[in-house]
Structure 1
Amino acid sequence: MAAESAILSPNAITRSADDEQEDLEAAIRNAVDGAYLNWPNEAGFTNLDEHRGPIELPVRGQIPSWVTGTLFRTGPGANKVDNTSSGSLHISHWFDGLAHTHRFDIIAGEDGVGTTVWYSSRRQCDSFIEHAQKNGMRDIITFGQRADPCIGLFGKIMSTWVVANTRRKTKKAENIGVTVQLDVPGLASAARSGALSHKTVWLGTDCHLLRDYINVNIRAGLPATYKIFRVSAATGETEILATISRLDVPMAYIHSFFLSQHFVVLRVPSSHISLDGLSILWKRNVLDAMKPFDRSRKTKWFIIDRLRGHGVVAEFETEAAFFFHTVNCFDKMHLDIQDDVEKWSISCDTIEYPNMNILRGLYYDVVLDQDGKARTVWGTEDQARGTLPRLTRWKFTLPLHHRNPSQGRRSLVSTLHDRLKALAARACRKGEELGQKIRQKEDTVVAVFRGLPAMAFSVLKPRLTFQQVPVQEGLQGERNDDRIYEGTGTKITDRKAIFTAELTRTISIPSPHVGELPTINPAYHTRAYHYVYSLAMSGRSTLMDTIVKTDLVSRAVLQWNNPLGHTPGEAIFVQRPGGVEEDDGVLLSVVLDGFSGKSYLLCLDARTMCEMGRAAMDFAVGFGFHGVHAPNLAVAITSEEESGESDKK
């Protein structure tokens, strides 16, 4: 693919595992020395307008014709609401910026070689703005909006009463702009009943990808309740996979979780919310309701069977940490030669932080360095070191069944039956691996978020397969306590576990060799893989400052050699049709030139990390969170809209 690249920028920068520590220390020095003062970001946060268009964008270089389709991007737009009863309302935190969705229609030329790109955008929060203008923010719970100093104790009591006892009449007054999703399962019946519109693009607050809709719902209370559920893509029916409600598992801010072919892995980080979420009612935002970071509050992990209804099958603890995004998760069944028993190994890759400093680092006055506020987050070596992420792989090893099944209640007949099932499972697994190699790419969907009291965070896109390796009954050990592990088909065995589950950290790659908003080739979700693409933080900006490709096997890094002040957004991988290699495709990223105040859609060769082409804009596009590329959606939606216009006439 590199041969057809129209390289518009210098060759990528190459780094190796030997450079990791040196580059990390350089990033810390950059931050402490204030290198970000020379990297303008303001245009990505302020004076951002709608462009309903569509507007044709001039293309420089070459965007391959097989990239045709629609790229949706969403995230915060403007950070101010004008004309409220008290003047202009300034939004404090980036996560609360006014939701703004962007659409790039990439259309192949008639000759099948070139492409044209059309752009349009629209705010997703008109009703929210209208509500804030009329009523202010007293009945709105945000992520990090700072309190109005004019509101006294009496006002806080009144507003807490309102939130606790009433709901707004319409859900339209929501400000949701974190993820984009297509064809959410279970919504068809609602659409037929008139509860939903005909539109198929949805917004949410999570970041991951699956066809069956697997998600986590977190309910505040003493104790908090975590429900892991699945919505069938085929029937739209919902099934509860597990319910966790324990005093030692507090409510936490969670943005994503892990999913492999056979397990759901819920990681509860150390971002605990006081009073198991109830404090949000009077704190008015999630960030202020969080407890201060405490290294004694361990991260908890729950391994949940997603196929046979066994509920929670294992639990682990690791040191205190925080994370936004998972990268990938994959499992494998193998034979432990020493114990002569089959075991599961589950690998969970995540971008994590040693503390929660990054949450404070995303206030607007920090990212824009207003009144020198950036130094409150990046000003010392310890602060900078704690605010930079790293990629970590946690590997869990679980027994598949007991070593001596004849003990206890297990009979010889049931033992032979399990052996035969295990042999059949191996054959199924081989067939499944073959099927994966020829499976076409799947659509990308993410979950809908509806209300803080029942937080729904992150979805992954499960693969549809005809056969799966079963999880054996003996995977679960005896529990001699009163902890609640409820769920559809949950079964707690009465036999003691013979094997102790193992936990190891097998990979740890620091910034800037890896960064935030990680993406991979979607065909490798729930599979072993080599490459992750992410936005590195090298201390040159108060946000991310370049795109890196990280080889998780060799730990080699290719970095896009972007000009100073060019800030990229999440890099969406689009695979070349018929491509065999994992990195055979392109990356699409919306980039802001901070000096000119204008953005462009960048197309990078995913193998070489060199620029192939770009579509330029005469205005800035706000820094966003997540996006999705929908092949051929441009043509489909255009036809639908034309049909709708004909009906009106």
Structure 2
Amino acid sequence: MSCFGATASAFERSVCDLAEDSQATVQNWEAGNFDEWPNEAGLEALTEERGPVKLRTIGEIPAWAAGSLYRTGPGVYSVDLDDSGRSYDVQHWFDGLGHVHRFEIVAPKSSDSSEGTSVWYSSRRQCDDFIAQVRAGATQGFSFAQRKDPCIGLFGKVMSSFSRKMVTTKNLQVTVSPDVGVYPQDSVKPLIDTVTGHTANVKSLWAATDNAYVRQIDPITLEPGPKCLTLGDMGTEFAYHSSCAHPGRDPKTGDYFNYGLKFGRVPTYSIYQLHEGDSKPRVIADIQGPGVAAAYMHSCFLSPSYFVLCIPSSHLAWNGLKLLWNLNIIDTILPFKESQKCRWFVVDRHHGRGVVGRFETPAGFFFHSVNAFEDDEGHLFCEMVEYPNTDIMSSFYCNVMLNKNGSGKSFWKSFASKPGNMGALRRYQFDINAELTSGLGPAPKLVVDIPAPHVGELPTINPAYSTKKHRYVYSVVTRGLSTMYDAIAKTDTVSGNVIIWSGEKGHTPGEPIFVANPEPENNNEAEDNGVLLSVVLDGANRKSYLLCLDACTMQERGRAE
């Protein structure tokens, strides 16, 4: 059994090691050991590479992993305003100005080719118009945490997505979705990359965020569209102030499900469905009334039969209207209260029955849902990475991440003193068919509870198991060695055991993306038969590379740099 703090290796830790590993993480935070992990390059302006350029491949990236990987995240943190030295400086990681990266993985032309799989790279800023607004003093919209000159909230976390036949890419303004029927398709040139010869599979990509806006980008050139749009711009009567950055998508039909939150005296969540080819969204439920608070949430849940809205304890002041005054989310969130429990609303998405279940779980907060599925006995299961409060939001302030003036050590020492602050992977079981008591269903059962550091953020699964029962969850974790993430974990929800991959010291991984093996040998259709793709920042050498891990063993198969 390897040391929990090992680097440049993949190693296993059992559920019996959890207490020891948790204590080691706390000790690293308290000692400030993260100060030795170089993160500065992750918060510096990126250079565009409109290319594409061919990367050097080390090891092997399997030919069956060929496809398009779009990775988005913050790329600009400071804007020079004039020649006097004044600048606009981003204060929170989520508000970093957007930069989109495209990795094109190209299989050899024949199976007997000696060339192997090649990887091509290009990138482009998505914020030139916003930079012009900043310099003109005319910014608009709201941000996540920026307290001056508020920008359109890009929520630029390290996120990515992979596709063979259909591109679903997270983020520009967090999420990017292909060919959504309700939005008009601009005229585009044939989507063939003249350098790689690869034909793109979509006509357009749509970027979305936690506010009400979407924006089109070109999947080949990565050029952003000329303006931001809302559903209201599409000729619909559906108006709202904020929405969920990660909508649910039916893996069989391709239908999108999301909510629109309208602030005001009676906050209202309108749950809507977007069917491919439809010109307008269809509202399938309106949720309002006692116990329905306007709140900040970043994702939702979708099972075969239901759309599930979980309103966490991140309530917004003035029923959300204060966001229109503050123009940033963090300053609008009310102080956390354990009495403000998470409220769950289960919406029928096939038969027009609206809300069919209401439940409560203890107060908490989450960024990302993992999956939702059902069993034959009428139980619904929803899984997410959950936190006991909203403190985690403050860990992503740039001063904390860079430990400027000791702010990182001060924050993490206080953060580590509160048990459970780093969250846990939790799966709740809901009895949809039970009789309601006082308008609520019976208390959901907590059937999976795996704390950090054996699980982390930006969770993903084998996409073939979306809306089905899954076993393995992949995520980026911190062991207290970095103010960002320092490893990738494969968490077994059955045994509670974990396999951790760590690069060399200073190598910070981004969101892992699962690519299933479409040609399994010996009929090996195991859930973990595939590879993980992750963009890793080498902080010491100030460069990044595309990492390819065996999703079963977590051993490195290859990389492109």
What interval of TM-score do these two structures reach, taking the shorter chain for normalisation?
0.7 to 0.9
Secondary structure of the corresponding residue to residue 12 of structure 1: strand
Report deviation, 1:319: 1.2
Report deviation, 1:264: 1.1
Larger Rg: 1
Report deviation, 1:199: 4.9
Matches within 5 A, 1:181-196: 181-187=177-183, 190-191=184-185
Q: Structure 2: how far apart are the matches of 1:75 and 1:193?
A: 27
On the 8 A contact 1:83/1:133 being kept in 2, the answer is yes
Q: Residue 200 of structure 1 corresponds to which residue in structure 2? A: 204
Matches within 5 A, 1:433-472: none
Q: Structure 2: how far apart are the matches of 1:25 and 1:104?
A: 38
Q: Residues 223 and 247 of structure 1: is their aligned pair in 2 closer, same or farther, counting only changes over 3 Å?
A: farther
Matched, 1:520 2:461: yes
Q: Residue 399 of structure 1 corresponds to which residue in structure 2? A: 433
On the 8 A contact 1:293/1:356 being kept in 2, the answer is yes
Q: Residue 268 of structure 1 corresponds to which residue in structure 2? A: 311
Matched, 1:221 2:219: no
Q: Which amino acid aligns with 1:144?
A: A
Q: Structure 2: how far apart are the matches of 1:542 and 1:478?
A: 45
Matches within 5 A, 1:352-367: 352-367=386-401
Gaps of 5+ in 1: 1-8, 149-155, 160-174, 335-343, 401-475, 481-496, 617-649
Q: Residue 97 of structure 1 corresponds to which residue in structure 2? A: 96
Q: Structure 2: how far apart are the matches of 1:318 and 1:85?
A: 54
Report deviation, 1:225: 0.9
Report deviation, 1:237: 4.3
Aligned pair partner of 1:349 in 356, 376, 383:
383
Matches within 5 A, 1:114-129: 114-129=116-131
Q: Residue 145 of structure 2 corresponds to which residue in structure 1? A: 144
Q: Which amino acid aligns with 1:15?
A: R
Aligned pair partner of 1:543 in 484, 487, 509:
484
Q: Structure 2: how far apart are the matches of 1:96 and 1:377?
A: 20
Q: Structure 2: how far apart are the matches of 1:382 and 1:108?
A: 46
Q: Structure 2: how far apart are the matches of 1:216 and 1:39?
A: 39
Report deviation, 1:191: 2.0
Aligned pair partner of 1:282 in 325, 341, 350:
325
Q: Structure 1: how far apart are the matches of 2:417 and 2:261?
A: 31
Matches within 5 A, 1:16-165: 16-83=14-81, 87-112=86-111, 114-137=116-139, 139-147=140-148
Q: Structure 1: how far apart are the matches of 2:246 and 2:493?
A: 21
Q: Which amino acid aligns with 2:109?
A: E
Q: Structure 1: how far apart are the matches of 2:187 and 2:45?
A: 39
Superposed CA deviations along residues 100-124 of structure 1, whole A, max 9, x for unmatched, are 1000011112343611111000011
TM-score under structure 2 length normalisation: 0.81
Q: Which amino acid aligns with 2:148?
A: A
Report deviation, 1:281: 2.1
Secondary structure of the corresponding residue to residue 51 of structure 1: coil
Matched, 1:558 2:503: no
TM-score under structure 1 length normalisation: 0.70
On the 8 A contact 1:253/1:271 being kept in 2, the answer is yes
Q: Residues 478 and 25 of structure 1: is their aligned pair in 2 closer, same or farther, counting only changes over 3 Å?
A: closer
Aligned pair partner of 2:541 in 596, 600, 611:
596
Aligned pair partner of 1:608 in 546, 553, 561:
553
Report deviation, 1:201: 2.0
On the 8 A contact 2:385/2:426 being kept in 1, the answer is yes
Higher relative contact order (CA 8 A, sep 6+): 1
Report deviation, 1:209: 5.2
Report deviation, 1:10: 6.0
Report deviation, 1:375: 2.5
Secondary structure of the corresponding residue to residue 298 of structure 2: coil
Q: Structure 1: how far apart are the matches of 2:460 and 2:437?
A: 38
On the 8 A contact 1:213/1:230 being kept in 2, the answer is yes
Q: Structure 1: how far apart are the matches of 2:462 and 2:66?
A: 17
Superposed CA deviations along residues 582-607 of structure 1, whole A, max 9, x for unmatched, are 11100000001111111100000001
On the 8 A contact 2:371/2:467 being kept in 1, the answer is yes
- Count of matched residue positions in the alignment of Structure 1 and Structure 2: 477
Q: Residue 425 of structure 1 corresponds to which residue in structure 2? A: none
Superposed CA deviations along residues 182-223 of structure 1, whole A, max 9, x for unmatched, are 222323xx22799xx995122222235522010111111112
Superposed CA deviations along residues 361-410 of structure 1, whole A, max 9, x for unmatched, are 1111111111111133201365564541210111111227xxxxxxxxxx
Secondary structure of the corresponding residue to residue 248 of structure 1: coil
Report deviation, 1:140: 3.6
Matched, 1:257 2:261: no
Q: Residues 598 and 322 of structure 1: is their aligned pair in 2 closer, same or farther, counting only changes over 3 Å?
A: same
Report deviation, 1:333: 2.6
Q: Structure 2: how far apart are the matches of 1:588 and 1:100?
A: 19
Q: Structure 1: how far apart are the matches of 2:172 and 2:53?
A: 25
Q: Which amino acid aligns with 2:344?
A: W
Q: Residue 284 of structure 2 corresponds to which residue in structure 1? A: 241
Superposed CA deviations along residues 303-352 of structure 1, whole A, max 9, x for unmatched, are 11111111111111111101000001101232xxxxxxxxx111111001
Secondary structure of the corresponding residue to residue 540 of structure 2: coil
Secondary structure of the corresponding residue to residue 29 of structure 2: helix
Secondary structure of the corresponding residue to residue 77 of structure 1: strand
Matched, 1:374 2:374: no
On the 8 A contact 2:457/2:476 being kept in 1, the answer is yes
Secondary structure of the corresponding residue to residue 595 of structure 1: coil
